[in-house]
Structure 1
Amino acid sequence: MELKLRKNFKFYFMLMVMILLSTVFASAAETQGTVLASQGIVRKTNDFNGDVVNSLPIGTRVTILEAKDKWYRVKDSTETIEGWMYSDLLSVDNKEEIKKGIITASVLNVRSEASTDSAIVTKLIEGTEVIVIKGQGDWLQIKLQVNKTAWIHRDFVKVMPNLPSGVILKGDAPLMEYGVENAKKLASFKENDVLYIKHFQNGWYQVVTDNFVEGWMKEEFIELQINVARPISRSGERTSVFSNMSEITSKYIGKKYVWGATGPNTFDCSGFTYYILDTYYGEYLKDKGINLPRTSRDQGTVGTDVSRANLQLGDLVFFNTDSRMGRTITHVGIYIGNGDFVHASSARAKVMISTLSEGYYSTRFLKAVRF
């Protein structure tokens, strides 16, 4: 009987050990990431037209469940929020693909081996983005598809970190060895310089330079740039052009209102709409022959008037905030869908999201225009 009990105990003990080990290994296998945007928007589907599930604040840790195109399906630590996030809103732990390249030749031959004598497997046009796996002399091995690689000559590609990019907001921005105030200063950067963001922690971005030097920079010196540029439709179709409006404007939520300011850190109402449309959709406006004015009253005179019932992403919405019965435009925002608009509010002294369906702005709505 005692021998049998020992055998049973040994069996169950080994079973428990195996279960515990499998749990540990399963947890270790899960890829983690950190939200880099001030509001990391989570959507039901992996496209910019997908319904918004929720948004996660900067620094939130998430588990990566799946990767598809340039999107990640994620869940938060409470497992109450799950959905798709655009890749530029996240840093992914231990990302293997640390380099990418931008093709600089008008047309570049892609070869099966690192030699001009090898077969041409495809051609890439200028501006195409590729994942760089490794270098070999004058050649770079790139990823074409899953489990398929090829080679390109390094003279015709600009290599950079394969990470979300950030732009420097202030001159003499210090790059520190660690994310603490008294750390060693490694370098300083000019306004509008670009760095690549690897992580965020306690108000500091971990960044990588063009030549792959790593360091830390305070959040106030650098702004995440979301690479969601889309080709402009020459047929006049605008839906896809403005489909990323929520992601673009989410970076500026909470920025201070300052009268007469046009960004990138402070705005008045028309300065905000002018900055967003000129910075991210300037080529589209130029293609349409639209020269966007600076003031809200003048912005209401361009484009095509649309009814409140037919609003679409990217439409400008105008209000009179001086008098309930007034008809003079004094305020402007950008429609972002679901009855909401984003604007720089003087009353709240910041960029924020408000609703058109009820309350203050519902009674003061005057008109909307579409470009």
Structure 2
Amino acid sequence: MIKWGRLTSITFVLGLFSILNVSNTYAKTTAVSLENNVDVWGKASQTEEAISTLDKNEEVEIIGTEGDYYVIALNNGEEGYVVRDLLKIASVDAVSTGDHVNIRQAPNTRCNVLGQVNKGDALIVTGKSGDWYQIKYNGNEAWIHGDYVKTMEDVFVTEKKGQASNSNNLGEEIVEYAKRFIGTPYRYAGTDLTSGVDCSGFTQAVMSHFGIYLSRPSSAQANDGVTISKQELQAGDLVFFDTSGSNNGRISHVGIYVGNNKFIHADSSRGVIINSLNEDYYIRTYVKAVRVL
């Protein structure tokens, strides 16, 4: 039997569908695998042979929980069981509970308004910061106040620590972890921190270690957080460059800011190294910075 634990009862959810006139996609939760070759079991135990495996960063739909396992939907219409610690929640479907609710660029009322949603509009929640929810909006990350969001699965939503606090302890931990891999060779499309990485594979793998999911290409990672100015940079922020020739603002390279105007990245000729943003080349090619913590 699938259990939802602390989650809202199925009876209540069905009633909410009727009130808000939304489809059953409201209850959808997606997660990504944190490792390669993650076993999928036929039941909530590991006493029999695994029925499938998941690749690292492979996305699945969670349909319930049972003990220490998430219950996931398989492509053949059946269910599988995965140990919870091996999956990270990526998004939870929700709905707006108010009309003319502002969607904002950051989790505060001082920033730009990107648009509005009305009661019953579908939302895709990807994180949380205090009283604010991070959502997907027109293909980008945005924020909505939690007073106007209803999601069955608040227990799953990842807290975005860096958004809620000025403390940068997490960013410093990320930098120290990233420095362990200085000297790792560059490998196109590589995501292995010891055998070889490309620039976005490096940032993705480092952040994944701390439960922060990033998109794969650097151009997509540039939309995975909140844009900040160069003057606001803190340890753990992502910095992006246009290294394709003339700087037209097209993202083609990414690194992690380490402090003191320096950043760590996977250079195509020298592997994982630290460079300064004050170097002429990186002054010319710099495009933007993004905070994902």
Shared fold by TM > 0.5?
no
TM-score by length of 2: 0.43
Larger Rg: 1
TM-score by length of 1: 0.34
* Higher RCO (Cα < 8 Å, 6 or more apart): 2
Q: Which has the higher strand share?
A: 1
